Amino acid sequence: MFGIRKSSFHPLCDLQDKHCFKPYYRVERDGTVCERILLDVHDISLREELICKHFLRNHVLVFLKEAVRVNILSRDNPWDFEVELSNKEQFNIEITSIAEDSSLFEKLKREERMVASTFVKEIPFHELKKINSLFPEVEISSLIISLEARKIARTSMVENPYFGKDRNLFFSDGSYGKEPFRNLIKKAIEKKEAKKNPNKENTVLVLDNRTVTYEYKDLQEASQHLTEFYESSSFKEIWFYTGYCSDYDGNNAEFSLGPLKLPELKWKVMIDAQKGISPDENGIVLLKI
């Protein structure tokens, strides 16, 4: 039995008591297998809320070092979050996902849609048909034919045959073109820069890493080419977020946050925090919070 190596983007924790994660196994051309643990949240709005909480947790523990109260002033108006802290800080948080290409991102969204369906006892008839079109099953196709014969309206709620079946194993073709990581990162930032939303200078941009083929060395290589690009950005700060697991309230979680753009004083805090800490085998300096 061959061994399975772990991606450089991998949690340190024991996943036994963790939630909202999905193992992803990538089989390379030489037959080796790489395990990647992905934060798996079936609702995009909830995923953004968890990332927001994880960012604020990091912000408080690394930079503020004191307890604060958080008030969400607005949601999607126009930024994902407008937050106010009890220390009088007020800023926006915008979250954007990056993945290998649109086809992989669509595959992940389809899988999330399927998993989301397992949590409800009834679903709209049109949703049952949609999920079965994405993941066809003979029995469910027969069920749909019988419901159509009964002239069930597309918006009618029907008994959900997926309910409780939350153990799913997905297979897909992994032949994605390996575009330089710096291109993906740059495109994601430029897309947000192009938005006409006001107050970019008071907005933190968080890149949600949903890739499965890139490693930490690719991020390092990208940053070597993009340092000036980061600094020229209108955004107040830019962070690279990789989620691994979390409870629905944001606790019992593991994630990593790497700064791409920071104000000078925050860079100094980060540098001071790394003193005396040796990088791991992947070149990552771990600040445990």
- Per-residue pLDDT, averaged over 243-264, amounts to 95
Q: Are 139 and 268 members of one domain?
A: no
Q: Is 13 a member of any domain?
A: no
Q: Would you say residue 62 has pLDDT above 70?
A: yes
Query: What per-residue confidence (pLDDT) applies to 2?
Result: 56
Q: How far apart are CA 209 and CA 194, in angstroms?
A: 20
Overall domain count for the chain: 2
Q: Which two tokens stand for residue 249?
A: 């309230």
Please write the tens of the pLDDT for every residue from 13-37. Answer: 999 999 999 888 887 777 788 899 9
Query: What per-residue confidence (pLDDT) applies to 123?
Result: 87
Q: Are 87 and 109 members of one domain?
A: no
Q: Are 265 and 195 members of one domain?
A: yes
Q: Is 269 a member of any domain?
A: yes
Q: Which of 136, 170, 204 is the last residue of a domain?
A: 170
Q: Is 10 a member of any domain?
A: no
Query: What per-residue confidence (pLDDT) applies to 274?
Result: 82
Please write the tens of the pLDDT for every residue from 101-144. Answer: 666 667 767 777 777 777 788 888 888 888 888 878 888 888 88
Contact between 200 and 165 (Cβ < 8 Å):
no
Q: Is 264 a member of any domain?
A: yes
Query: What per-residue confidence (pLDDT) applies to 83?
Result: 97
Contact between 255 and 246 (Cβ < 8 Å):
yes
The listed range with the strongest mean pLDDT (34-48, 145-159, 199-213) is: 199-213
Q: How confident is the model at residue 278 (pLDDT cuts 50, 70, 90)?
A: confident
Q: Are 184 and 92 members of one domain?
A: yes
Q: Are 214 and 259 members of one domain?
A: yes
Please write the tens of the pLDDT for every residue from 68-107. Answer: 999 999 999 999 999 999 999 999 999 999 988 666 667 7
Eight-state DSSP code of residue 287:
-
Q: Is 15 a member of any domain?
A: no
- CA 63 to centroid of chain Cα atoms: 23
In this structure, the strands spanning 81-85 and 90-98 are: antiparallel
Q: Which of 128, 145, 170 is the last residue of a domain?
A: 170
Q: Would you say residue 256 has pLDDT above 50?
A: yes
Contact between 39 and 20 (Cβ < 8 Å):
yes
Q: Domain limits at 78?
A: 42-100+179-274
Q: Are 121 and 139 members of one domain?
A: yes
Q: Are 216 and 202 members of one domain?
A: yes
* Average pLDDT value for the chain: 88
Q: Is 29 a member of any domain?
A: no
What is the pTM assigned to this prediction? 0.78
Q: Would you say residue 276 has pLDDT above 70?
A: yes
Q: How far apart are CA 85 and CA 71, in angstroms?
A: 6
Q: Are 134 and 235 members of one domain?
A: no
Q: Are 128 and 266 members of one domain?
A: no
Q: Give the contacts of 225 (CB within 8 A, at least 6 positions apart).
A: 182
Q: Are 71 and 204 members of one domain?
A: yes
Q: Would you say residue 173 has pLDDT above 80?
A: no
Q: Which two tokens stand for residue 116?
A: 């989301």
Q: Is 36 a member of any domain?
A: no
Q: Is 289 a member of any domain?
A: no
Q: Which of 115, 150, 170 is the last residue of a domain?
A: 170
Q: How confident is the model at residue 1 (pLDDT cuts 50, 70, 90)?
A: very low
Q: What are phi and psi of 56, to 5 degrees?
A: -65, -35
Q: Are 119 and 238 members of one domain?
A: no
- Per-residue pLDDT, averaged over 155-162, amounts to 87
Q: Report which secondary-structure segment, H or E, holds 124.
A: strand 122-124
Q: Are 159 and 184 members of one domain?
A: no
| Largest pairwise CA distance in the chain | 70
